[in-house]
A and B are shown apart, each in its own frame.
Chain A
Amino acid sequence: MNSSLVDLLPPLLIVAPILAATLPIALGLRFDRTGWSVAAITTGALFAAAGYLASAVHAGGRVTHTLGGYPRTYGIQLVADQFSILIVLLVTGVATGVLAYTRRGGPRGNTFYTAYLLLVGGLLGISLTGDVFNLFVFLEISSLATYALVASGDGPESAVAALKYLILGTVAASMYLIGVAFVFMATGTLNMVELAEAIPNAERQTLIQAGFAFIVVGFATKVAQWPLHTWQPSAYEQAPDGATPLIAALVSTASAYAFGRLIVTVFEVDYLASMPRAASIVLTVGCVSVLAGTVLAVIQREVKRMLAYSSVSQFGLVIAAYGVVIAGGSETAFTGAAIHLVGHGILKAGLFLSAAIVATSYGARTVDEYAGLAKRRPVVAGAMAVLLFALVGVPPAVGFVGKWYIALGAVEAELWPVAAVIFLSTMLTLAYAARLLEKMYFTPAAGAASARGHGPSTVATDGGEQSDGERGSDGGDESAAEGREDRASDDGAVETPLAAGVSYDPTGGPGRDGPGRSPDPVSSGMVAVVVVAALVAVALGFAGGAFADFLEPFLTEVFN
């Protein structure tokens, strides 16, 4: 393998999307819709490059690049090792998948794809940087892109959500920066490897402890841990349907990764274990979030909001696993955290994509409106069911493997409360997952008629030009059910609007499919993305051992 080429990949992975982000706007001056093509080419290439880099890391260990040739004492280093390459693969993979969805699902427009590429560049930067200050810069780049994406949602509510996110996110990143300042003050270096050597030998230990405290608060906000999660549900809910999967799957995941990186590489487990109360604080934050997040998710009515609160609890699991790592030096728990980060990213991307498909085709956004979905869209409902079961932690899906390793680590470290919390949260996760499943599979669709008038895309059908045996919305409920059964058979093919009032405007989008034929807002490609996400979630469940093997060299290094 050409080593010089591999050395160049880490900077290229960061620079390419950021440079490409300028293209949609620049080309947009001449051409109308180039954004998607540019983004597709870039993220596709990034995914391929990430795969190549992963194979190089797997074969030869860590790949480092020293930017500008400055020594790492004051320069910036980019590092791809086993832990970071997992997140790089997740970021590029999910970005490619979500992009495939946005081809038909939207949002469209060149500026959207600019923000999209900036976000991907920032997230890859978070994953690959080996410098704690550089980490702050990339955190802020990806946050800025996220604020823009959230604000691009329909309606003024999204601006309010984005501003709330901006203020909390900025304060959180600043907290992290204070922590970095304290640690820098005590050690005089910003490089992660140098810090790992300097921190235990530093004279002023109080500074480092204060620094770690600030870093914990900063990341607890960025990762959306209770009670600092308040920005997250409204941000996820108000972001455009096509952007939420990306934000939910990646932004907090990258922050959680960065926190784990700081724990194992910078502060190092042995040092943190000797720091008073560090372990118990991280453990408490994680466990409380697990319980608070699931309880809050159970009482939500909106599907997107429910999934958002579910993220609070799932990231709580990861943070709790970090607590186990600090308290017990448990490699198993760390493997579990890494698997859960990747698995949760894929699960949330799939779930939010399914929610987006349902919202696009029926305008259904609350749990009640999902009634009878399995009849109308069996493929999407099936994929969603698989993803929900994976989220609960039913074997063999990936959600189970992550939880299993974390729980095993907790038991090994004799932290029984953590194991109990994981068990309890699984029950509660089942509570909200089962509620959605029950609506989709066992509640008749007639209940959906009560959903009349919900959702921003709702337009009452006027019974106008509909050539394929469809009637207008003025029919009764019986005939509506009849029409629905007709359509139950052709999922994935032309989907005509639901007659029960929640429907897509049949006269909208003229010209694309010819007059008189309602354009299908959901293409088979969009459905395929969700199905692939569900399949990957199950397939990765079988790969738990492979994950552990892949991480093995990294683990032996950081845990000695």
Chain B
Amino acid sequence: MIDLLASRYTYVLMFVLLGIGIYMAIASENLVKKLIGVNLFQTAIFLFFVSMAYIDADGASAPIVPHHGEPGEVMVASPLPQVIVLTAIVVGIALTAVGLALIIRIYSEYGTLREDTLREVRADE
């Protein structure tokens, strides 16, 4: 068990981050913090992908062409998850941008960033 934790500590870290992110997204009343929570949630998944690339290759180096050594000698991590995470990061940035734009609109219309206040303001109208 301890061995497993020691060798796979990145996974544990990812799921702690995942939990913090989803908790923020649900529990925080502040809209910006909610969005940060969603971001954290996504980032944890990205990190999960990155660390997963090293799964069967303990001690593997980053997937770049090595300066020295013959091909086949150096153990590298799988480049595929790392490449696709790049795309996912781009998507995440676009989502954050759209979300922030919506929050700006809500703030300029209702004058608040808090969800509970927003609920009261909307109920009054």
Residues of A within 8 A of B45 (CB): 174, 177-178, 181
Q: Which secondary structure dominates chain A's binding surface?
A: helix
> What mask results when residues 40 to 65 of chain B are scored 1 for a CB within 8 Å of chain A, else 0?
01100100110010010000000000
**Is A31 positioned at the interface, with any CB of B under 8 Å from its CB?**
no
For residue A157, give the distance in angstroms from its CB to the closest CB of chain B: 7
Q: Which residues of A contact B74 (CB under 8 A)?
A: none
Query: A380: CB under 8 A from chain B?
Result: no
* B66 at the binding interface (Cβ < 8 Å): no
Q: Which of A161-169, A344-352, A478-486 contacts B (4 or more CB under 8 A)?
A: A161-169
The total of interchain contacts (Cβ-Cβ below 8 angstroms) comes to: 76
B77 at the interface (CB under 8 A from A): no
> Which of A136, A144, A157, A167 is the one whose CB lies under 8 Å from B25?
A167
Residues of chain B contacted by A147 (CB below 8 angstroms): 98, 102
Partner of A178, one of B34, B48, B118: B48
Tell yes or no: B22 within 8 A of A by CB.
yes
Docked Cα-Cα span, A140 to B105, in Å, equals 22
Is A231 an interface residue when CB atoms closer than 8 A count as contact? no
Q: How far is the CA of A177 from the CA of B45 in the complex (A)?
A: 8
Q: Which residue of B25, B35, B48, B105 contacts A156 across the interface (Cβ within 8 Å)?
A: B105
**Which residues of B lie under 8 Å from residue A74 when comparing CB positions?**
80
Q: How many A residues have CB within 8 A of the partner chain?
A: 28
- Interface of B, secondary structure class, is helix
Decide: A159 and B38 in contact? CB cutoff 8 A: no
**B42 touching A174, Cβ below 8 Å:** yes
Interchain CB contact under 8 A, A177 and B88: yes
Bound complex: CA of A307 vs CA of B122, how far in Å? 23
- Neighbour of B106 across the interface among A140, A156, A178, A188, CB < 8 A: A156
A162 and B88 contact, Cβ closer than 8 Å, known pairs A177-B45, A181-B45, A181-B52 = no
B48–chain A nearest beta-carbon distance, Å: 6
Please pick, from A151, A157, A159, A171, the residue contacting B41 in the complex, using a CB distance under 8 A. A171
User: Could you tell me if A167 and B98 are in contact, using CB atoms closer than 8 angstroms?
Assistant: no
Q: Which of A74, A144, A156 has the most CB of B within 10 A?
A: A156
A133-B84, A159-B102, A190-B80 are known contacts. Are A167 and B34 too (CB-CB below 8 A)?
yes
Contact partners of A181 in chain B: CB under 8 A: 45, 48-49, 52, 81
Q: Which residue of A lies closest to B56 (CB)?
A: A188
Q: What is the CA–CA distance of A159 and B98 in the complex, to the nearest angstrom?
A: 11
Would you call A184 an interface residue if the criterion is a C-beta within 8 Å of the partner chain's C-beta atoms? yes
Q: Say whether A140 contacts B102, CB under 8 Å.
A: no
Measured CA separation A352–B94 after assembly (Å): 29
B16 interface residue (CB < 8 Å to A): no
Interface residues of B in 59-94 (CB under 8 A from A): 78, 80-81, 84, 87-88, 91, 94
Chain A residues with CB under 8 Å of B118's CB are 160
A174 to B96, CA, bound (A): 14
A23 located at the interface, meaning its Cβ lies under 8 Å from any Cβ of chain B in the complex? no
| Cross-chain contact B22 with A171 (CB below 8 angstroms) | yes
Q: Which residues on the B side are within 8 Å of A171 (C-beta)?
A: 22, 25, 38, 41
Chain B residues positioned under 8 Å from A148 (CB to CB):
98
Question: Known interface pairs A156-B105, A178-B45, A184-B52. Does A167 touch B99 (Cβ–Cβ under 8 Å)?
Answer: yes
A137: Cβ under 8 A from any B Cβ: yes
A8 CB-CB contact with B under 8 Å? no
Chain A residues positioned under 8 Å from B49 (CB to CB)? 181
A136 touches B55 (CB 8 A): no
Which residue of B31, B42, B48, B81 contacts A163 across the interface (Cβ within 8 Å)? B31
Check if A170 is an interface residue, CB within 8 A of chain B. Answer: yes
Q: Which residues of B contact A184 (CB under 8 A)?
A: 52, 81
The reply on A185 being an interface residue by CB < 8 A is: yes
Knowing A144-B95, A170-B95, the reply to whether A159 touches B34 (Cβ < 8 A) is no
Q: Hey, which chain B residues are within 8 Å of A151, CB to CB?
A: 102, 105
What is the CA–CA distance of A136 and B92 in the complex, to the nearest angstrom?
12
| A131 (CB) vs chain B CBs: closest residue | B84
Given A181-B45, A185-B55, verify A160-B25 contact (CB < 8 Å): no
Q: Determine the chain A residues whose CB is within 8 A of the CB of B94 once the complex forms.
A: 140, 144
Give Cα A174 to B39, complex, Å.
10
Closest to B43 in A: A174
* Given A74-B80, A177-B45, A178-B48, A160 and B106 contact (CB-CB distance below 8 Å): yes
Query: What CA separation (Å) do A177 and B87 show in the bound complex?
Result: 12
Q: Is B103 an interface residue (CB 8 A)?
A: yes
Residues of B close to A136: CB separation below 8 A: 88, 91
Pairs A–B under 8 Å by Cβ, sample size 21: A74-B80, A144-B91, A147-B102, A156-B106, A159-B102, A159-B106, A163-B31, A163-B99, A163-B102, A163-B106, A166-B95, A167-B34, A167-B35, A170-B38, A170-B42, A170-B95, A170-B99, A174-B38, A181-B45, A181-B48, A190-B80
| Complex A-B, nearest 6 residue pairs according to Cβ-Cβ distance, in ascending order | A156-B109, A159-B105, A163-B102, A140-B91, A159-B106, A133-B84
Given contacts A159-B102, A166-B102, 11 further A-B contacts (CB under 8 A): A133-B84, A136-B88, A140-B95, A151-B105, A166-B98, A170-B42, A170-B99, A171-B22, A171-B38, A171-B41, A181-B49
